[in-house]
Amino acid sequence: MMKAFVFPGQGAQFVGMGKDLYDSSSQAHDLFEQANEILGFRITDLMFSGTDEDLKQTRVTQPAIFLHSVILTRCMGDKFKPDMVAGHSLGEFSALVANGALSFENGLILVSKRAQAMQKACELQPSTMAAVLNLDDKKVEEICSSIDDIVVPANYNSPGQLVVSGTIAGIDKAIELMLAAGAKRALKLAVGGAFHSPLMEPAREELAKAINETPFSQPVCPVYQNVNALPSTDPITIKANLMAQLTSPVRWTQSVKNMVADGASVFVEAGPGKVLQGLIKKIEASATVESAAV
């Protein structure tokens, strides 16, 4: 029985996340306090007792989810024995700390830089994302490429659930065309910008420089990366794929299928929420899904 640990991305946050770990484990307490120092603000205050609005800010959301995921796996001790890992978008950074490719400190610094770079890119050009339900992936891709504005598939979440990303005018047009083509729903998401699209190029450049300067180690198990859905254990390949991530789609459906093909039968979600467990069941009904527990 092979076990895959999976790590959620932006959107899984909730007020109070991680407080149980902080209160019950001295290891967790120390890691959270170290994170407050690294970030230069008390993220724990915002995570444990802030408002939904506080947590929605990209500069807070991304480190918060990363910290919850990584510290949870650290507190699991011997129960954390992954045969493979994967993370959805931001979650890929959590996965790379969990499997030892990145140190806790360097992972947090990169996530913080990523959040800030994405925020800046969002402010350069207003842009957005939309979820499309029950329309064939190929049809979605066709519609995106038929629009003059920037609109691209951004997240292949599960069969029949795809997120597209682009300019506001482009997304408006895409929604209209996708509903006309028979999509059950096509609706804008409450996000700051067009993540995983060419509009993130300024952020990609800024983050690539930081990734390039960060040491990566040989991981204890393969990571299935967003950009190609393939397993990797080579630090140079991992780095290159991570650099391309911000402007490339998240191939989550393909990643889960490849993990199953390579023997994963149990998927453990480490971090806030259960979004990935739901997606995994839609991709592979026979998979066992569970939440990580200390």
Domains recognised in the chain with CATH numbers: 2-123+198-291 (3.40.366.10), 127-188 (3.30.70.250)
pLDDT in tens, 35-56: 999 999 999 999 999 999 999 8
Q: Which residues of the chain fall below pLDDT 50? A: none
Q: What phi and psi, each to the nearest 5 degrees, are found at residue 84?
A: -160, 160
The pLDDT score that the predictor gives to residue 11 is 87
The pLDDT score that the predictor gives to residue 191 is 85
The pLDDT score that the predictor gives to residue 65 is 97
This prediction's pTM: 0.97
**What's the burial of 1, exposed, middle or buried (CB within 10 Å: 0-12/13-18/19+)?**
exposed
| Catalytic residue ranges | 89, 196
